[in-house]
Amino acid sequence: MRESEAREALCRMGELLVRRGLVHGSTGNLSVRLDDGWLVTPTNSSLGELDPARLSRLDSAGRLLDGDQPSKEAFLHRCVYDVRGDATAIIHTHSTHCAAVSCLDHKPGAPVLPPLTAYYVMRVGDLALVPYYRPGDERLALAVKEVAVKHAAILLANHGPVIAGKSLKDAQYALEELEETAKLHFLLHGHPTRPLTAEQVAELNVHFRN
Ligand code: ZN
C-alpha cells in the first residue's frame, strides 16, 4: 500500500472504530506497516479525529521520523511487527467487553474465551493472554513479543486486545469478532453452554486457517 493510501486508511479505520463504539476518549491506537517502517496514531489523539498528515511515521526500529509524537503504546505494535512478518496492520483498543474479559480470573492453560462459534475460531483463533504489568514496565514488551510469535490475537490482562492482521480490515474483523464473542460469553454466564468441541475446532482450522 502506498504511504498516502495507508494514511487515509488508518484515519478511516479510526473513525469506524469510534462509530462502532469500540474505542472511547483518547484510548486505542492503530498502525500500518510501510516498506521502510510504519505509521502509528499519535499520543493523546481521538481515533475519530485523526489528521492523515500528522500521523507518526516511525522507522523499523521505532524512531520517530516525522509527524506528532507517537502513542505511548506504540511499543506494543513494534513488538508484534518484530516477530510477525505477516502482520501489516495492528489495532489495539480498550473495547468494553474485551477489557471485561481481560479482568476475569483466568486459570493457567485454560482458553481465555471458549470457542463459542465457528466465526470466532476462524477470525480470532487462539487468543493469548499476557499477564498484567504496569504501563511502562519493560516486561510487558517482552511478554507481548514472546506470545506474538504464535498468536495474532493477544489480550493484555486488565487492559485490552492487541490484534495483528494481514490488512487493517483483517485486524478490524478479528477485533469485532472478539468483542462480540466476549459479549456472548457474559450473556451466557450462568446458562448451561456447549462450546465447540476440540474436534470441531480442529476441523475449522483445517478448512479455514493456515
Ligand atoms: Zn492500551
Res 210: pLDDT: 54
- How many A from CA of 11 to the centre of ligand 1? 18
d(CA 32, CA 191): 40
Determine the Cα–Cα distance for residues 10 and 103; give it in Å rounded to an integer.
29
The three three-digit cell numbers of residue 124, written as one number: 480470532
Q: Is the pLDDT of residue 173 over 60?
A: yes
Catalytic residue among 3, 8, 15, 119: 119
Q: Which residues, 6 or more positions from 107, have their beta carbon under 8 angstroms from its beta carbon?
A: none
Nearest by Cα to 30 from 203, 59, 18:
18
- CA 150 to ligand 1 center in whole angstroms: 21
Residue ranges of domains in the chain, CATH in brackets:
3-172+191-208 (3.40.225.10)
Provide mean pLDDT across the span 172-194.
98
User: 73, 176, 177, 179: which one is catalytic?
Assistant: 73
pLDDT of 1:
73
* CA 143 to ligand 1 center in whole angstroms: 15
Stretch 153-176: mean pLDDT: 98
Give pLDDT, residue 140.
95
- The rounded Å distance from CA 168 to ligand 1 centre is 18
Grid cell 454466564 in the structure block, residue: 189
CA–centroid distance, residue 196 to ligand 1 (Å): 30
Res 206 pLDDT > 60? yes
Per the annotation, the verdict on 81 as an active-site residue is no
pLDDT at 57: 98
Instruction: Work out the pLDDT band at 118, boundaries 50, 70, 90.
Output: very high
Residues 68-84 have a mean pLDDT of: 96
- The question of whether 176 is a catalytic residue gets the answer no
- pLDDT of 209 reads 67
The answer, yes or no, to whether residue 170 has pLDDT greater than 90, is yes
